[in-house]
Structure 1
Amino acid sequence: MTEPTADVAPPPSAFDITCETLIIGAGACGLVAALSAHEAGQQVLVIEADPVPSGSTALSAGLIPAAGTKIQRAAGIDDSAERFAADIQAKAKGENDPALVDLLASNAAPVIDWLTDTHGLPFSLVTDFDYPGHSRRRMHGLPTRSGAELIDALRTVCENAGIDIICERRATTLFRDSGRIHGVAVTRPDGGTETIGCTRLILACNGFGGNRTLVHRHMPEIENGLWFGHDGNRGEAVLWGEALGAATDHLGAYQGHGNVAHPHGILITWAVITEGGVQVNRDGRRFWNEAQGYSEAARAVLAQPGGEAFAIFDARIATVARQFEDFKRAESAGAIKTADTLDALARKLGLPAAALVETIASIPLGGTDLFGRSFGLTPLAAPYCGVRVTGALFHTQGGLQVNETAQVLNRDGTPFPNLYAGGGAACGVSGKSDSGYLSGNGLLSAVVLGRVAGRAGGSAS
């Protein structure tokens, strides 16, 4: 992959086209920002580098954590933005900007209610298992629990509202003069260039996980992991920010995933672990506290022989996991192995049978193991299931610093007057490393900052 072009230059004397609010990126952040800006009365244009909108969102389960939604209340779940913020900070060891945490935690529920009530997105709660770090069940998703479904739904709503989305246009140059952004240059599929002028610009474009140079520079501990994110995440936002003198933070933070079916490259939901499953290495032995989370699992798995592990669970847990489209794809692809005995499962996975049997028998039901993980009272039982997995980098979490209206900040803390950021372009709330990643943080930042940036349209004219 060639290094991205991310230049900053003075504006041209005239632009090919102009708009009020220009949004780079048609992932969840960009589409939510477009809806919000449109509702605020702005003339909106969204440009997208891919042939169709997708981004990292389309590769995810599309789950958005939110506390205090109408859906939660209907389910009898007592939750609050304050509790949600405390969970975020606890996972990140207090390393996050409290103002940003409060902004995301307090606006998540209104965003879900707005998307549900105003735009008809059929969100529902994941109520049959817990995600690590969340003290309440607050993960909201669409019926197939698929990020692709979320992107398709948001795109349909935008198109029905008459919002222009132009695909196959990759932004290469930001035009700046007198401290303001005046527009961008984009490349077309034929190699030609177009210029777009704007009153304000929202960077909803990408992180930098697909840029191996930046990954090596900022997060060398995961650089050998499978790149499981969107290849369009090449880091233009960070590179533009550096050229503009913008403030960045937590560039070493990332969302990993240590449960990606290998070599199939299909995400295996962490429900197979939280419901009582375990991970073992090639020797059939457990090697860490799986309750820490799937982002931390990426490094733990990569540190094992061959950079691989095996998730072991049972048919009861597989039933829970089948609500996720990815898991059903993994079953169809033959990644999930099943057997009536652990000996037979070990043979199918290429593991030493005696060691696997001993490992499963040593699970302290109703107690805590030597790694510090607590287990429930339900044992793994036949038929047993297993899948070979590896560790992967899914998304970077650091990025441009923004304020309470999603404006990008200079290094001296002052905001750029008409430059906004969200999604992978902005710093999220995962602390300094993967250990601070709380499930759903990426989409939380995307939809909330997209909503905030879009609604701020009247303040940047």
Structure 2
Amino acid sequence: MPAISHDIPVTDFTTDVLIIGAGASGLTAALAAAESGAQVVVLERDASPSGSTSMSSGFVPAPATRFQAVIGVTDDTPDLFCADLMAKSYGKSDARLARLAAQTIGPAMEWLADSAGVEWHVLDDFLYPGHARHRMHAVPEKTGAALEARLLAAVIAADIALVTDALAETLYVDTDGKAHAVGVMRPDGTCEVIGCKTLILACNGYGGNAQMVAEHIPQIAGGEYYGHAGNTGHAVAWGQALGAELKHLSGYQGHGSLAHPHGILISWALMMQGAIQVNSDGRRFSNEMGGYSEQAVKVIDQTGRVAWNIYDQARHDFAVAGFPDYREAVAAGAIKTGATVAELATATGLPEAALAATITEVQALAKGDGTDAQGRDFTVTPPLSGPFFAVKVTGALFHTQGGLVIADDARVMRADGTTLPNLFASGGAACGVSGPAVEGYLSGNGLLTAIAFGYLAGRHAAAQT
């Protein structure tokens, strides 16, 4: 269990900047700190770094970048992005942090391209829910695993020390809250003590801690967890012990489209292109355009905690061409198909009459006949037509969004408004920009704060050494 000790130990070695966590946030922080000339060590609990970054889509929203200009988007601004962030959370996000993230992410993305060779492309196949402009950036492979691999390659090229199989368990701090060292447990049971001038917590949130999930976000406690098992809330626990300000611990990213039981993410892009979700009765139960995060709870509320995504050949081809996760789902046999509604009902076990009635209704709505009782506008995409496809999905918790409140330089703040002397936080360890509820999550918010706040933490931590 994470611990705090005020007995300052003898260290095995000391570094300028010590970073706990080797996901996108920790690696970005490491690159930023090293560029400033600081000696940097990154601790990673796993044998091979992956974490929530590798499990994500790898998509990062950023306004006013030169990469947007390539596709003709020249009117996006941090102000517009910040407005989108606040609108998605119904004004409940921390406004200062939302503005900080919106202003920082663009320069951070361009800096990663220039200094670390990360290649960004802006996705323009469709507009992600809640975003006023095409601003979703991805590496060419369009996966989180590829983003993690590119950041790792940059860290290795920069000759930054990355220590794997290193579980940080104890923070050694003095009575003023200054961090002096970290106790690290190794696989053979031995403990190393690493001293530091500054410390960055980039070890994500508490999604892997069932007890904390049940306490703070009980509505998703019964859902699947699609995140890294190592996200056990160490940063939150350390922060509480140090008197740090914690905020929005009830905030999280859910997803209403995780293939069941395969555990493969099915992109919400299918919904944006005209797919629908039905329950085991073959009926729609929500407006699918509300957002994939809040859809997690709506799916879990259905019989058996599952739903079916229903779509057609054109949408299937779109997903095969654009999303590696979807191709994985096809290979795993998660995708069912039928030339007719009757055949699809047989393949899925859904009641044919109800499924046929649902599809007939949405086809009519797409042609402008009638008004959807759920409030969705179907006229913006072509109507569904056979052959049909389906995938059974469940709702899942991806990662938590609350955490340690940071100042504009990414230092951890105390509850009284002062900052801890040399402790920084970024990514899922820090309070994010999604507010206190699942519906506040705007597409890409996780990697937004991972990279933006990691960039700030690395630069400012190095400047303090």
Greater Cα shift, 65-74 or 369-378: 369-378
Partner of 2:304: 306
Please say if 1:68 is aligned against 2:64.
yes
CA–CA distance in 2 between the matches of 1:449 and 1:393?
A: 22
Greater Cα shift, 369-378 or 57-66: 369-378
How big is the shift at 1:13? 3.8
Please say if 1:155 is aligned against 2:152.
yes
Q: Is the 8 A contact 1:256 1:393 kept in 2?
A: yes
| Structure 2 unpaired stretches of 5+ | none
Q: Match for 2:23 among 18, 21, 27? A: 27
**1:199-231 C-alpha deviation (Å, 9 max, x unpaired):** 000000021011011001100000000011110
Partner of 1:265: 263
Partner of 2:350: 351
* Residues 172-321 of structure 1: pairs in structure 2 closer than 5 A: 172-177=169-174, 178-321=176-319
CA–CA distance in 2 between the matches of 1:304 and 1:458?
A: 50
**1:322-354 C-alpha deviation (Å, 9 max, x unpaired):** 222111100000101122112111111110111
Please say if 1:373 is aligned against 2:376.
yes
Greater Cα shift, 243-252 or 110-119: 110-119
CA–CA distance in 2 between the matches of 1:146 and 1:339?
A: 29
Change in Cα spacing, 1:385 to 1:88, as seen in structure 2 (3 Å) is same
Q: Is the 8 A contact 2:255 2:293 kept in 1?
A: yes
CA–CA distance in 2 between the matches of 1:341 and 1:143?
A: 36
CA–CA distance in 1 between the matches of 2:248 and 2:462?
A: 30
Amino acid corresponding to residue 343 of structure 2 in structure 1: A
CA–CA distance in 2 between the matches of 1:106 and 1:277?
A: 34
CA–CA distance in 1 between the matches of 2:180 and 2:259?
A: 45
Please say if 1:129 is aligned against 2:126.
yes
Partner of 1:106: 103
Q: Is the 8 A contact 2:33 2:462 kept in 1?
A: no
Q: Is the partner of 2:366 in helix, strand or coil?
A: coil
Partner of 1:404: 408
CA–CA distance in 2 between the matches of 1:93 and 1:441?
A: 15
Change in Cα spacing, 1:379 to 1:187, as seen in structure 2 (3 Å) is same
CA–CA distance in 2 between the matches of 1:389 and 1:314?
A: 17
Change in Cα spacing, 1:355 to 1:13, as seen in structure 2 (3 Å) is closer
Q: Is the 8 A contact 1:11 1:182 kept in 2?
A: no
CA–CA distance in 2 between the matches of 1:116 and 1:316?
A: 34
Q: Is the 8 A contact 1:128 1:320 kept in 2?
A: no
Greater Cα shift, 327-336 or 366-375: 366-375
Please say if 1:384 is aligned against 2:371.
no
Change in Cα spacing, 1:143 to 1:458, as seen in structure 2 (3 Å) is closer
Query: Identity, % of aligned pairs?
Result: 49
Please say if 1:361 is aligned against 2:364.
no
Amino acid corresponding to residue 413 of structure 2 in structure 1: L
Partner of 1:441: 445
Q: Is the 8 A contact 1:144 1:324 kept in 2?
A: no
How big is the shift at 1:108? 1.3
How big is the shift at 1:300? 0.2
Q: Match for 2:54 among 58, 63, 78? A: 58
Partner of 1:36: 32
Q: TM-score, normalised by structure 2?
A: 0.97
How big is the shift at 1:458? 4.5
Runs of 4+ in 1 over 4 A off after TM superposition: none
Q: Is the partner of 1:362 in helix, strand or coil?
A: helix
Q: Is the partner of 1:266 in helix, strand or coil?
A: coil
Partner of 1:141: 138
Corresponding pairs, count: 457
Amino acid corresponding to residue 323 of structure 2 in structure 1: F
Change in Cα spacing, 1:441 to 1:353, as seen in structure 2 (3 Å) is same
Q: Is the 8 A contact 1:281 1:310 kept in 2?
A: yes
Greater Cα shift, 6-15 or 290-299: 6-15
Q: Is the partner of 1:140 in helix, strand or coil?
A: strand
CA–CA distance in 2 between the matches of 1:60 and 1:264?
A: 16
CA–CA distance in 1 between the matches of 2:367 and 2:243?
A: 54
**1:268-309 C-alpha deviation (Å, 9 max, x unpaired):** 000111110000000000000110111111100000001000
**1:343-385 C-alpha deviation (Å, 9 max, x unpaired):** 1111111101111111011111165511111122411112211
| Structure 1 unpaired stretches of 5+ | none
Q: Is the 8 A contact 1:226 1:392 kept in 2?
A: yes
Q: Is the 8 A contact 2:113 2:119 kept in 1?
A: yes
CA–CA distance in 2 between the matches of 1:88 and 1:441?
A: 9
**1:132-190 C-alpha deviation (Å, 9 max, x unpaired):** 11111111111221100000000000000100100000100001103201111010001
**1:62-85 C-alpha deviation (Å, 9 max, x unpaired):** 000001111111111131111100
Q: TM-score, normalised by structure 1?
A: 0.97
* Residues 5-16 of structure 1: pairs in structure 2 closer than 5 A: 5-16=1-12
How big is the shift at 1:130? 1.9
How big is the shift at 1:251? 0.3
Change in Cα spacing, 1:377 to 1:424, as seen in structure 2 (3 Å) is closer
Q: Is the partner of 2:207 in helix, strand or coil?
A: coil
How big is the shift at 1:109? 1.2
